């Protein structure tokens, strides 16, 4: 099956990145969100990201215009998916919201369309079961920032067909991403490791073992990570980290995944990391300044 038209649900951090890489690869993209202001913001970020490449002579102005011309911002969900060959969902991590959205998409999308979720942890099988095409349902987990990160983690649900996997491997390759194929499990493979590791860094702060800047420096220089774990936690979003940790505890029935109290307290205070301007660092000035705990 050849994919030509892609609907991306959500114009946020992940959605606009996914729309960008798909349009850059030549796909016709409809990027849907629930409010015009989210679409406008997503389009502005895509434009800015493409223009970064202009300065480095990796893309021409003509290619930027063509790429932007292939992305249509849209509010109506049914309109967005009605002629899509592939629907990639990147909406907030709320189980009920995802299930309701997938039911609506399933009714409106062509029968042949593949449905892919960019969820960071929620069960692919559970979402697939909300549709009448679980064989065409799959996980397509991107990493932030999407235009830069080279991996798509493909997740096979209980009923996903091998032919669906093959199509998604081909699309991933066409948009310049390498893939790993994993079976469904909470957090799949990457977040199974990442979230406990970042939580452990938060425990180090909570227990007063190191300062924020020293913990980040230690891991950046000692383990050669591109970002320290607390910078990365702020980048991923502390609410996302907390959500995934709580989901792990519920799903695995194992308290070893429990979130540090400090993380929960910060989320309750609205300190969500970079997106809210405050997390382990304060982002209100020119450079991030580490907070004291
Ligand atoms: N969007 C697009 N491009 C970006 C970008 C962004 N937000 N941020 C940086 N870039 C580009 C820059 O233009 C630059 O391009 P170039 O090398 O071609 O010139 C390149 O990325 C490197 O950027 P910088 O030199 O400014 O900065 P760094 O060298 O520090 O790289 C980084 C930035 C790529 C973000 C790097 O720090 C990194 O890899 N960090 C770790 C990111 C990570 O772990 N992501 C996964 C998060 S987990 C996840 O998403 C899963 C979810 O389910 C939780």
The pLDDT mean for the chain works out to 97
CA distance 20 to 25: 9
Q: Is the CA virtual torsion 183, 185, 187, 191 positive or negative?
A: negative
Rounded to the nearest angstrom, the distance between the alpha carbon of 232 and the centre of ligand 1 is 10
In angstroms, what CA-CA distances link 237 with 11, 144, 175, 195, 250? 16, 11, 25, 11, 20
Strands 137-141 and 151-156: antiparallel
Q: What is the pLDDT of residue 121?
A: 85
Report the pLDDT value the prediction gives residue 233, as an integer from 0 to 100: 98
Judge if the beta carbon of residue 10 lies within 6 A of ligand 1.
no
For a pLDDT cut of 70, what percent of the chain falls above it? 100
Confidence (pLDDT) at 83: 98
Q: pLDDT-derived band of residue 173, with 50, 70 and 90 as boundaries?
A: very high
Is residue 54 in contact with ligand 1, taking CB distance under 6 Å?
no
Mean pLDDT of 17-41: 98
Report the range of poorest mean pLDDT among 23-32, 50-59, 100-109, 179-188.
50-59
d(CA 168, CA 140): 8
CA of 79 to the centre of ligand 1 (A): 33
Asked if the model's pLDDT at residue 229 lies above 90, the reply is: yes
Q: Domains in the chain, ordered, with CATH?
A: 5-183 (3.40.50.720), 191-290 (1.10.1040.10)
Which atom number of ligand 1 is nearest to the Cα of residue 14? 50
Q: With both helix axes pointing from N to C terminus, report the angle between 36-55 and 13-24 in degrees, rounded to the nearest 10.
A: 50
As a whole number, mean pLDDT of residues 199-218 equals 98
Which residue, 175, 196, 193, 232, is CA-closest to 29?
A: 175
pLDDT number for residue 1: 80
Task: For residue range 45-87, list pLDDT tens digits in order.
Answer: 999 999 999 988 899 999 999 999 999 999 999 999 999 999 9
pLDDT given for residue 72 in this prediction: 98
Mean pLDDT over 99-121 rounds to: 97
The mean pLDDT of 198-226, rounded to a whole number, is 98
pLDDT digits (tens, 9 = 90+) for 192-208: 999 999 999 999 999 99
d(CA 142, CA 67) in angstroms, rounded, equals 20
- What pLDDT does residue 280 have? 98
Query: Would you say residue 143 has pLDDT above 90?
Result: yes
DSSP 273: B
Ligand 1 center to 230 CA (angstroms): 15
**Which atom from ligand 1 is nearest to the alpha carbon of 147?**
2
| Mean pLDDT calculated for residue range 164-180 | 98
Mean pLDDT of 154-163: 98
């Amino acid at each position: 099956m050849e994919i030509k038209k892609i609907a991306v649900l959500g114009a946020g951090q992940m959605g606009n990145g996914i729309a960008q890489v798909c349009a850059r690869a030549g796909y016709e993209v409809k990027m849907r969100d629930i409010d015009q202001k989210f679409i406008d913001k997503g389009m502005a970020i895509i434009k800015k990201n493409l223009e970064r490449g202009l300065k480095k002579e990796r893309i021409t102005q003509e290619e930027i215009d063509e790429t932007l011309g292939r992305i249509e911002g849209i509010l109506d969900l049914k309109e967005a998916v009605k002629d899509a060959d592939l629907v990639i969902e990147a909406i907030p991590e709320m189980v009920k919201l995802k299930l309701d959205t997938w039911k609506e998409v399933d009714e409106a999308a062509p029968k042949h369309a593949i449905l892919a979720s960019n969820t960071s942890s929620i069960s692919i099988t559970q979402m697939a079961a909300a549709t009448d095409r679980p064989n065409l349902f799959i996980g397509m987990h991107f990493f932030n920032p999407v235009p830069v990160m080279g991996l798509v983690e493909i997740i096979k649900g209980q009923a996903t067909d091998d032919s669906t996997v093959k199509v998604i491997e081909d699309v991933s390759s066409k948009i310049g991403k390498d893939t790993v194929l994993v079976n469904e499990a909470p957090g799949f493979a990457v977040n199974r490791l990442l979230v406990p590791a970042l939580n452990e860094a938060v425990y180090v702060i909570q227990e007063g073992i190191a300062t924020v800047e020293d913990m980040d420096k230690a891991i950046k220089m000692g383990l050669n990570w591109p970002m320290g774990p607390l910078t990365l936690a702020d980048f991923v979003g502390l609410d996302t980290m907390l959500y995934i940790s709580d989901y792990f505890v519920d799903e695995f029935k194992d308290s070893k995944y429990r979130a540090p109290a400090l993380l929960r307290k910060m989320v309750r205070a609205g300190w969500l990391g970079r997106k809210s301007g405050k997390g382990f660092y304060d982002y209100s000035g020119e450079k991030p300044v580490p907070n004291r705990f």
